[in-house]
Amino acid sequence: MIPQDQSKAARDIAGRARVIPVLVLDDAGHARPLAEALVAGGLPALEVTLRTPAALDSIRAMSEVEGGIVGAGTLLTPDDVRAAKAAGARFGVSPGATETLVQACIDEDLPLLPGAATATEAMALLEMGFDMMKFFPAEASGGAPALKAIGAPIPQISFCPTGGVSLANMADYLSLSNVSVVGGSWVAPKDKMVAGDWAGIESLAREARG
């Protein structure tokens, strides 16, 4: 069972805004201005995916931005958890969940948003003490209708849908009683990062927040 304070922390972080930006950074030099733009736009919880060599340095830079809460996404192994925590991550996100990964997060006192795509996976995580989860891959797993159906027999679980979520369909998810926040990459497009268009990213964040 995960500690109750970790479960509460995951819910609190998810409740900071209705959108958690999912960030893939190839250049750690973009990290601080990107975080500043997103926080200024009203999106304080930031997920940096561990998919690039720049990810951990980006987490270090973002962790210094006032008002931001940086987390590490795509946690797959205990080594990922330890590295993310050492870099300054305050929460973790995984596409799925294993007992080994969950135990590593408990050991490192890192609140986790574990991934589930089926009722069975959600029930297994609920048995571990999780009541806040990532629904992934959201669109490929049936989208908002599937999540609504899962929520009917398991209303005590809240989800953060990620994977195919965009400005166009986020309202479909946020209208569900078992969705408190969505995750998406559209608020930080690569072309705007490369161009250094931080004002443009702040504007996208404000739009998503609204």
Tens of each residue's pLDDT in the chain, 210 residues: 898 899 899 999 988 999 999 999 999 999 999 999 999 999 999 999 999 999 999 999 999 999 999 999 999 999 999 999 999 999 999 999 999 999 999 999 999 999 999 999 999 999 999 999 999 999 999 999 999 999 999 999 999 999 999 999 999 999 999 999 999 999 999 999 999 999 999 999 999 998
Q: In 3-state terms, what secondary structure has residue 53?
A: coil
Question: Which residues are the active-site residues?
Answer: 47, 134
| pLDDT on residue 198 | 98
**Predicted local distance difference test score (pLDDT) of residue 48:** 98
The per-residue pLDDT for 149 is 97
Query: What is residue 202's predicted lDDT score, i.e. its pLDDT?
Result: 98
**CA dist., res. 37 & res. 48, Å (int):** 15
- The CA-based angle 100-161-169, given to 5 degrees, is 165
For residues 31 and 61, the answer to whether their CB atoms sit within 8 Å is: yes
The hierarchical CATH code for the domain 4-209 is 3.20.20.70
Token pair 């330890």 is found at 82
Beta carbons within 8 Å of 22's beta carbon, 6+ residues apart: 47, 49, 73, 162, 183, 184, 185
- What pLDDT, on the 0 to 100 scale, is given for residue 170? 97
- CA end-to-end span of the chain: 36
| For the chain, the helix, strand and coil percentages under 3-state DSSP, each to the nearest 5 | 45, 15, 40
